[in-house]
Structures are given as C-alpha cells and as structure tokens.
Amino acid sequence: MKLSLLVSAAIVPLVSAHYFFDTLIIDGVETTPNQYVRSNTRPAKYNPTKWKNTRDDMTPDMLDFRCNKGSFTFAPQTETAEVQAGSKLAMKLGVGATMQHPGPGLVYMSKAPEGSAANQYEGDGDWFKIHEEGICDTEKDIKTDAWCTWDKDRIEFTVPADLPDGEYLIRSEHIGVHGAHDGQAEFYYACAQVKITGGGTGFPSTDATIQFPGGYKQDDPSFNFSVWGGMKEYPMPGPPVWTGGTESGSGSGSAFNGTSADSSSTGETQEEEKHTCSRRRRRRARHVRQ
C-alpha cells in the first residue's frame, strides 16, 4: 500500500508534461507548424491516447489511432512535402515542448495506394517502422534521462534510401510509460504527408508491417512495463525496423539502444560521435543482460 502511494506521488509531476507533434524538419530546415503535419480535433491537442482513464474518448483500438483524433479532416488542407529518399528528417513538438515522459520514440511509414495522394489517404494500409529509440544509457535513471528521447523536442530519423517513389504518411510516436505498470501507457503521435522521390525498389516484407489500429494490443508487454523497479530491458512494440531491401530489418527487439535507417558514416564529427555513443550503448546493454 505504501509503495503504491509512493509511486502515485512520483507520477504527479509527470502527468502534466503533455505534448504534440506539429512540425516536419527536412534536412535541417524547419517548416511551418502543421504545414505538412496533420492537426487533430482534440479539445486539448496535447492530450495522449490511452486504454485506461481515456482522454477525449480515444483509445488505441480506434481508427483515429492512425494519425490522431479527427486528423483526416485536416488532410486536404495539409501540404505534402517533397522529400528525397535518404533524407534526414525530424518531427518536432509544438509550442516549445519537450518529451518529459520516460519512454521510446518510434517512426512508421505507410504508402498511399496507387493513384491516391497522401492527402487522400486515411492510413488504413500497412505500416512499417523505419526508426526506434529506447534506453540510451543504462547508468542513468530509467524514470527520466536514461531514455534517448528524454527532454528532446523532436524525433530524428532517416528515410530509407531504398524506399520506392510515391506518396506516404509518416507517423511519429512517443510512448510515455511512466504509468504503464497500471495499464496507462500514453501515446503521443501525428502524421506528416510526404512525396518520396529518387528512391529505390526495396520494400518491407509482410512480416515487418502492422496496421493501426490492431498492431498494438492492450496486453502487450511494451504497454505494461514498469519503470519503478530499477533498470531493466524494455520490449519494443511493433515490427522490426526496416532499413532497406525486400526483407525485414533486424530491429533491436529491446530498447537499450536507438535504431534507425541511418547506419552510414559521413565522416562528420557529429556522425562519429553518434557511432561512438552507439558502441558504448551496446557495451552497456551487454553488461546489463549479463
């Protein structure tokens, strides 16, 4: 009983840190909020989607879980960004917010049917994951800054260079797991509309795709995870990350490291630092698993 009260008290500072994605960044250039990212019709746009203690009558089992409540009504007025395959993108939070919940960041894509544009697509097809990031530093606090996304205002990722040309939805998502031990994982997500050019001929196999809704289940370990018992491995939701080709990507399966479609080094200092950090994270992951 005392432990439950202590956990509840610890959650209080976290519950007010809600946010929403509204800006697409293309190769470092920040676009206008909601220029390419669909808005939503929630009374408070920052409200999360949950299975328990729901907000705005939204759960992950509803059709609007694809891009957020009422987002398809904004599709016609949302522009479609032309993006070169292999480009570095980011989805940024609105109104200066940062991710103040522990939890993973993920990015999915879904191709509009042939003959249909992104602004006509509801997202009822297959989705494949191109990026995920979980726990970056096992020596830090799993309730806060151990997570790669902690206190960041964006999720950065790379569009697979092998992705075929066409119009797509990009779905960025952050999952707050501070209440997941009580079945109250919180989903923050939005969709951008893009047209991919200069791509290849690869595409993920069917075992590397999911659909929204349906791809996430209420009893999945990812959404019933506790950050309140010390450092532990986080089971990533969804399929493995697809990085190119016609087979599914390797995926991390767990979240002691970040994974994305960007695996090449450019020789720049920033990229070298990323690879150094990645090696360090893998060593820490092996140490924890042992």
pTM of the predicted structure, to 2 decimals: 0.84
Q: Whole domain around residue 235: which residue ranges?
A: 2-289
**What per-residue confidence (pLDDT) applies to 261?**
54
Partners of residue 105 on adjacent β-strands: 133, 174
Instruction: At 45, list the tokens.
Output: 């746009």
Span 190-198, average pLDDT: 98
Residues 37, 92: Cα–Cα separation, whole Å:
10
Read off the CATH number of the domain in which 194 is found. 2.70.50.70
Q: What is the CA radius of gyration of the chain?
A: 18
Mean residue pLDDT across the chain: 85
Q: Residues 94-112: pLDDT tens digits?
A: 999 999 999 999 999 999 9
Q: Which candidate, 227, 288, 224, places its Cα nearest to that of 256?
A: 288
How many domains is the chain built from? 1
Residues 6+ apart with CB under 8 A from 206: 126
- Contact, 221 vs 175, CB < 8 A? no
259 confidence band (pLDDT: 50, 70, 90): low
Specify the residue for token string 């999360």: 48
Residue 11 in this model has a pLDDT that exceeds 90: no
Span 156-182, average pLDDT: 98
Residue 247 in this model has a pLDDT that exceeds 90: no
